Amino acid sequence: MPRQKNEDLAPRRAALYIRVSTEEQARKGYSLPAQKEDLEEYARKNGYAIAGYYIDEGKSARKKYTKRKEFMRMLEDVKAGKIDVILFIKLDRWFRNVADYYKIQEILDAHNVAWKTTQEHYDTETTNGRLYINIRLSVAQDESDRDSDRIKFVFDSKVARGEVISGSLPMGLMIQDKHVVPDPETADIVREFFAHYKAHGTIGGAMTYIRETYGIILWDPTARKMLHNPLYKGMYRDNPNYCEPLIPPEEFDAIQKLLESRCIRQNESGRVYIFSGLLICEECGQRMTGSHSTDKITERRFYRCRNATIYKRCSHRHQIGETKLEQWLLLNLPSELARWEFEWELKTTQAKKPKVDRAAIQRKMDRLKDLYVNDLITMDQYREDWSKYSAQLQEAQETEPPPTPDFQGLRDMLKNVLTDLYPTWSPEQRRDLWRSIIQEIRLDGDNSPRVIFRE
């Protein structure tokens, strides 16, 4: 009995929760010191023992509660039985989302933890009281959504005008007059980084080149983010002309394809799957992944569509063994090359031929310069005709057929390599060979391969 009496007389343990967003830092009553002082005074007057301070600074109520680090720490303390009541100044410090509020309320109810606001009065024990909370949270959520829409509209307008909305930029770019422009001190370094990766195809090699040439250390995550960042080609969000391209868009897009083609899944065992990144499921369009099975004697490697085997979203349930696919390639590569050559000739024959003479257009542009220099035409006439001829020249370039691959040279090379060298090569060397000449191997539901060569 005495023990029970002592427990009843013990002060309730109060967690002081404080949340302040960046835009609210300076507002009277919402700043961190103001909230802390108010909560401490309330706890003192009501005889609460302060169990801890939980302060989420720079966190908006629009964010998911799981993004509030201190809020999540407080929940863990609730579950651990360290808290009896949670104090905060107003309901909008707690939530502005009805659904999230009830998720957390279930946790608090399960651990007999109450909450109180120091500047507002709420009753959670009656139907009318809970209804009032619902109404207040719904109003707060609506206000938050309206604010979010207004902010989004302002940001979209700025992006459309090419104005910056963030001060954080990758290497090679800087802010000048509210616009993103190349940084004269580092722009060439970034260009060389991209050029080195495009030429050699290894991120590590490009990082080493920049370190040895300029003394700048790029960590792997940073280097990969740079190679994938569309801001370098002048694109941000939905605006392809957001800023001056540091890397020409066509070159940046070609590098993205190279990055995708060389994406080899890493594994702790060190296994090398020689067709990793090359196999495409024809049924769903996703890349097939390598796996293995081991018995007492041998290890078998195979490929499967994860969309089918794991997520059950594809009908391609058949796996294909690595050895079987390798043997098929060695046997059928000549016929696949012949099919590629036939399709190439058919495509180039049917392709639209240039309707204009590029040399003639260039001569007209040269004469146009002479006319302007000799004051025989005005600047407006010069610009109008120059734009017309430039458009014609661009049309001629776009309709020109690409250079024809050296089909016979590829046949001769592969004949020698596959006959004499391939059997002696390591898995890494075999993988690099296939990746150098093949863009994709597409497998239908029956695992019938179709090779798409690199052009």
DSSP 348: H
Catalytic residue among 21, 144, 261, 291, which?
21
In which residue are the tokens 């830092």 written?
Answer: 25
SS3 302: strand
Residues 6+ away with beta carbon under 8 Å from 367: none
User: Partners of 237 in the beta sheet?
Assistant: none
With beta carbons less than 8 A apart as the criterion, state whether 227 and 194 touch: yes
Q: Measured between alpha carbons, how far is 331 from 425 in angstroms, rounded to an integer?
A: 18
Closest CA to 430 of 338, 343, 330, 289: 330
**Collapsed DSSP state (helix, strand, coil) of residue 268:** coil
Annotated active-site residue 387? The verdict is: no
- Contact at 8 Å (CB) between 289 and 283? no
Strands of 83-209 (E only): list them: 85-88, 114-117, 173-176, 179-182
Instruction: Check: CB of residue 60 under 8 Å from CB of residue 26.
Output: no
| Catalytic residue IDs | 21
